[in-house]
Structure 1
Amino acid sequence: MTKTTPYLPSSHPSWLFDDSPIPDPHGKGQRAVDFLRALKHPKSTAPGRAFQLDPWVERLVRKVYGDTKPDGTRRIKTVFALIPRGNRKTTLGAALCLLALGPERVPGSQVVSAAVDRDQARIALEEMKGVIAAHPRLEAAFHVQDTKNRITHRKSSAFYRAMSADAATAHGRTPVFALVDELHAWKKRDLWDAIKTGLVKTPGSLLVVTTTAGIGHENIAYETYKYAKAVATGQIEDDAFLPIIFEADPKEDWRDEAVWHRVNPGLSCNPPYPDIVGLRQMVREAEHRPADREMIRQLHLNVWLDGAANPEWSLDVWDENAGELDLSELEGRPAWVGVDLAKRIDLCAVAIAIPMEDGRTALHVQSFCPAGTIRKRTDGVPYPLWRDQGYLTECPGDAIDLELVENYIRGLCERFQVEEIAFDRWHAQDVMKSLEADGLPVAEFPQNIATFARPVIDFEAAMFDRKLVHGGNPLLRWAVGNVVLYTDGSGNRRPLKEKSIDKIDPAVAAIIANGRAAQGVSGRSSYDDADLSDLSLFAV
């Protein structure tokens, strides 16, 4: 079972603000600080437009560059900086890129910054261009090729390149320094893997990741964040990995200004940043807009959200429903099956809900996916792992094998007293006809708001009452965390696939199966609970 990483006090890196000694046996930390202090920034309000090297940033730089091994080589190889929006991460990253082309320079070396798309990738480049243009010696030393997203040090041929994760420019790079910006937004891992493997080829290389918190647990950013947390809390010993994590406890009051100050290091500076007045206004408005509230928690307080940007359900509550699930012990009992065959080229699911004697409902979901889709899933969602764990059945080729799904349903009917197999006819006519021909209890479940209204309520009620025993299925957990619901004017709700953050088919099948089980036990119909004032609800 996947669990949310707990908040721990060590998530606040206090060493950035105290006077504790930072080793610098070879003077490389001081050299880096001197270089940054010599820079100018076009937006700086300091005398002579001096680059603003705030105390917490200076200590970070001294730690990264000064804490060397006895032979003078780099000790820290990876920096993971989880810092909220508005704390000048991009300015810091651009300065470190220039540092890699300055006193850290290796002749002919490659320095890269990488972001989710071309526009984001150019932000660091624009910062570097501004810093170079503000200092005559830098202007003379560097050749800026704006159209090529490239800056070259004339004498040494060391160069910087801005890259984006949506471009096919990853392979063949062997950078000595890589800045990865806003990793939480990366959907694919191709460039990430290319940068990581490229850095290994170069002695003394350094990877710096600067990002805000993200959404969901099945992605590259969360993998890296989870590792950083383990290092920060001492669960993993890795002196080559430096975690710098500013985050609020998910249970803390997002309106508490003391929390803002603890997780936004720039608010400790003079002048402070981000704009505290602007934050206050955003919070006032978010009091009445839940989606804005989640945005503030994620981007300004670095609370890692479980699933959708405006999550419908807390996965902490979902996890408390896990329990022990052994279907073999429940064989022969009455059961209800829900099937979602919405797309034959991606993911479909079959759920079975089995009411138990203690009032709880056992819920098992089996998902199906084409082999081609499993191979193409490169964004950190672990389809191959879920396949190997048995939660995902791989179908040969590039489409769902409906015969395989049908045979799975028939197998459930042999093991359990299946009272109903609920389908959306639009996507499953052939399977329904085949099962009906053999006398199996097929029922139509149109996926509209009328038929979903009560099953959504029943699903929530079972979850909130801790009566939904799902066994900790990680694929199902991921799907539940992705769910976004549409709500009509009468408060009726249904899952909205086109607005959900990722696939929700297993969750949809689970809602159907549990809903039909709840209605089957009570003898109630979906239509008994729907709002009859709008007859258009019943249009299929």
Structure 2
Amino acid sequence: MPRSSPNSSPTGTARPTTALDVPGWPPRILTPVDLADQARGDGAHVARFIETLCTITRDTFSGRTGSHLALRPWQRLLLDHVFARRSDGRRRHRVALVGEPRKNGKSGLAAGIALEGLFECHGAEVYSCAGDREQARIVFGDAKRMVDADPDLSAACKVYRDAIEVVELGSVYRCLSAEAFTKEGLSPTRVVFDELHVQPNDELFNVMALAAGARIDPLLFAITTAGVKTDTSGRDSVCYRLFQYGQRIATGEVDDPSFFLAWWGAPDDADHRDPDVWADANPALGDLLDPEDLAAAVRRTPEAEFRTKRLNQWVNTAQAWLPAGAWDACRTEDGPIGDGIEVCLGFDGSFNNDSTALVAVTCPTPVEPTPVVEVVACWERPTEAGNDWTVPVLDVEDAIRAACRRFQVREIVCDPYRWARTYQVLEAEGLPVVEFPQSAARMTPATQRFYEAVMNGSIAHAGDPRLARHLANCVLRVDARGSRLSKDARNSPRKIDLAVAAVMALDRAVREPERAPDVGFFAWDEL
């Protein structure tokens, strides 16, 4: 099982590498690799290692936990390209970037490549890297489970919480996160970057690439889906820059055989709703990936998110949120919400520049299963007002109290930022205040839920122009943490607060209440 030298050649007969009828091959963008370099490379050895020793760690559409991985022909061809060797025996590529949409078997393949690297030479250092430690643990966790599941790997490896060691060879495999300043002094032989597009900047990538300079034939293998083109600094992300560089190599503009790019995905102008586009972009569709999953996802996933995760297309940071006409299609002529109806109130407060919004969303019932959205109140800075204008806090508090008298309010859903005193006052009066911090963990699923409701026609409204305007002002900002609502620019005068309040209120209205109301002053049901 172990290889004594990185220059050792795989045994057995090299398999064909030019078959153009292999399903899923070639990828849309591929840098050239000579057939002779593929044949003398280590791709066949790596494939045998993975298929002989690496197991499926989670039940999937195509296999059960515990069974050995069965690489598809397109995956074997990919390994032939990645692990090609020149005529002098040296590895052809030092950096390989592989782009695939989600659920095409990236994590299992990456874990197998990382484990095989442990046995490449004496003193090998293998690292899994990602944007944060939890992301890095995905590939590393798969590798640990593979070791535990296979007797040969278990006998050869010692498994620790954050490391896998091959004592006989003095080799070690660890997972690292993006705090690049702590990674100086490493000497990696193989680095596996999972989801390179989420790196907040290029520090970790640069550290790992430079750290391998003293090694013979190191490999930095990055496998990722597309994402936004910019990182947290506002510049092109390291992943997008490498993608562009690989494109120039593929077109012959640049000659750099040390860099490899294989990129599955749809062209930028492709119709994201077309099943033929899904098939072209996803090499494992119908095999590792259930076609029904894509058919369901396209109906409930924002377009920008679907394009990045399912079609592997690059997007700008800000994308329009609701398609034109989608909100108008949900309009009802039933009029405003009736008095005494159970609702959740969504409150998004500001102090001066932004607007302050109070929105009611009805709680679904078997009789009325469709939530209805209504603007209760909105305070926007008048165009003629000076810089000294502020939100009338006492009026806002009175409007919330009045809404609690008009409706049966299950929860007042609010972000505590800047309005903590108001929430304390209302809570002291017995009103059911529930904090809803506008963090990525909260807002990403809430935004998704609202989008799905609009696209499926399972939400209604009476056509308030203020809410329609705020929704039209929303863009979808996509970053490493997910997708959330945002203005088109930080200091934009176009307000979105009614939309944010509606998103929060709907998210709570369709869930079980966080707390039972304990109202201390007269409410609707006490009149």
The TM-score by the shorter chain falls in which range?
A: 0.5 to 0.7
Which residue of the partner structure matches residue 304 of structure 1?
Answer: 314
Which residue of the partner structure matches residue 30 of structure 1?
Answer: 44
Matched, 1:246 2:264: yes
> What is the aligned counterpart of 1:131 among 139, 142, 146?
146
SS in 1 for 2:257: coil
1: CA distance, partners of 2:252 / 2:26:
9
1: CA distance, partners of 2:470 / 2:41:
66
2: CA distance, partners of 1:273 / 1:506:
38
- Contact conserved, 2:228 with 2:478, CA < 8 A, in 1? no
Aligned residues: 329
> What is the aligned counterpart of 2:212 among 165, 190, 199?
199
Q: Identify which range, 184-193 or 166-175, moves more after superposition.
A: 166-175
Q: Identify which range, 303-312 or 243-252, moves more after superposition.
A: 303-312
2: CA distance, partners of 1:492 / 1:24:
56
Q: 1:49 deviation in Å?
A: 2.0
Superposed CA deviations along residues 435-463 of structure 1, whole A, max 9, x for unmatched, are xxxxxxxxxxxxxxxxxxxxxxxxxxxxx
Residue type of the alignment partner of 1:12: R
Which residue of the partner structure matches residue 379 of structure 2?
Answer: none
Residue type of the alignment partner of 1:114: C
> What is the aligned counterpart of 1:83 among 100, 110, 115?
100
- Contact conserved, 2:321 with 2:475, CA < 8 A, in 1? no
- Contact conserved, 2:56 with 2:108, CA < 8 A, in 1? no
Structure 1 pair 178/426, CA: closer, same or farther in 2 (3 Å)? farther
Which residue of the partner structure matches residue 14 of structure 2?
Answer: none
Residue type of the alignment partner of 1:30: A
Matched, 1:169 2:182: yes
> What is the aligned counterpart of 2:279 among 244, 261, 267?
261
SS in 2 for 1:31: helix
SS in 1 for 2:74: helix
2: CA distance, partners of 1:142 / 1:10:
36
> What is the aligned counterpart of 2:77 among 59, 67, 80?
59
Which residue of the partner structure matches residue 12 of structure 1?
Answer: 28
- Contact conserved, 1:216 with 1:304, CA < 8 A, in 2? yes
- Contact conserved, 1:170 with 1:190, CA < 8 A, in 2? no
Q: 1:98 deviation in Å?
A: 0.9
1: CA distance, partners of 2:154 / 2:470:
63
Which residue of the partner structure matches residue 3 of structure 1?
Answer: none
1: CA distance, partners of 2:296 / 2:290:
10
Residue type of the alignment partner of 2:268: P
Residue type of the alignment partner of 2:217: G
SS in 2 for 1:252: coil
> What is the aligned counterpart of 1:278 among 277, 283, 293?
293
1: CA distance, partners of 2:92 / 2:386:
58
Residues 521-540 of structure 1: matches in 2 within 5 Å?
Answer: none
Structure 1 pair 84/494, CA: closer, same or farther in 2 (3 Å)? closer
Which residue of the partner structure matches residue 379 of structure 1?
Answer: none
- Contact conserved, 1:42 with 1:134, CA < 8 A, in 2? no
- Contact conserved, 2:188 with 2:212, CA < 8 A, in 1? yes
Structure 1 pair 255/74, CA: closer, same or farther in 2 (3 Å)? same
More helix by share: 1
Residues 373-384 of structure 1: matches in 2 within 5 Å?
Answer: none
- Contact conserved, 1:93 with 1:179, CA < 8 A, in 2? yes
SS in 2 for 1:273: coil
Which residue of the partner structure matches residue 237 of structure 2?
Answer: 219
- Contact conserved, 2:130 with 2:136, CA < 8 A, in 1? yes
Residues 340-355 of structure 1: matches in 2 within 5 Å?
Answer: none
Residues 361-380 of structure 1: matches in 2 within 5 Å?
Answer: none
2: CA distance, partners of 1:175 / 1:141:
20
SS in 2 for 1:161: strand
Superposed CA deviations along residues 120-146 of structure 1, whole A, max 9, x for unmatched, are 111111111121122211101001111
> What is the aligned counterpart of 1:160 among 164, 168, 173?
173
2: CA distance, partners of 1:489 / 1:200:
57
- Contact conserved, 1:215 with 1:309, CA < 8 A, in 2? no
- Contact conserved, 2:41 with 2:91, CA < 8 A, in 1? no
2: CA distance, partners of 1:85 / 1:128:
19
Which residue of the partner structure matches residue 491 of structure 1?
Answer: 469
SS in 1 for 2:284: helix
Unaligned ranges ≥5, structure 1 = 1-8, 314-341, 343-421, 428-486, 516-540
Residues 471-486 of structure 1: matches in 2 within 5 Å?
Answer: none
1: CA distance, partners of 2:238 / 2:247:
14
Return the TM-score normalized by structure 1: 0.54
- Contact conserved, 1:74 with 1:204, CA < 8 A, in 2? yes
Which residue of the partner structure matches residue 55 of structure 2?
Answer: 41
- Contact conserved, 2:197 with 2:227, CA < 8 A, in 1? yes
Q: 1:425 deviation in Å?
A: 5.8
SS in 2 for 1:258: helix
Q: 1:25 deviation in Å?
A: 5.3
Which residue of the partner structure matches residue 109 of structure 2?
Answer: 92
Which residue of the partner structure matches residue 395 of structure 1?
Answer: none
> What is the aligned counterpart of 2:191 among 151, 154, 178?
178
Return the TM-score normalized by structure 2: 0.55
Matched, 1:293 2:303: yes
Structure 1 pair 498/30, CA: closer, same or farther in 2 (3 Å)? closer
Residue type of the alignment partner of 2:49: F
Residues 362-511 of structure 1: matches in 2 within 5 Å?
Answer: 488-492=466-470, 507=489
Q: 1:236 deviation in Å?
A: 1.5
SS in 1 for 2:127: strand
State the identity %.
27
Q: Superposition RMSD on alpha carbons, in Å? A: 4.0
2: CA distance, partners of 1:300 / 1:497:
20
Residue type of the alignment partner of 2:122: P
2: CA distance, partners of 1:133 / 1:493:
50
2: CA distance, partners of 1:10 / 1:230:
18
Structure 1 pair 425/22, CA: closer, same or farther in 2 (3 Å)? farther
Residue type of the alignment partner of 2:171: A
- Contact conserved, 1:143 with 1:151, CA < 8 A, in 2? yes
- Contact conserved, 1:175 with 1:205, CA < 8 A, in 2? yes
Superposed CA deviations along residues 185-227 of structure 1, whole A, max 9, x for unmatched, are 1113321221121122322100111111111343222111111
- Contact conserved, 2:127 with 2:190, CA < 8 A, in 1? yes
SS in 2 for 1:59: helix
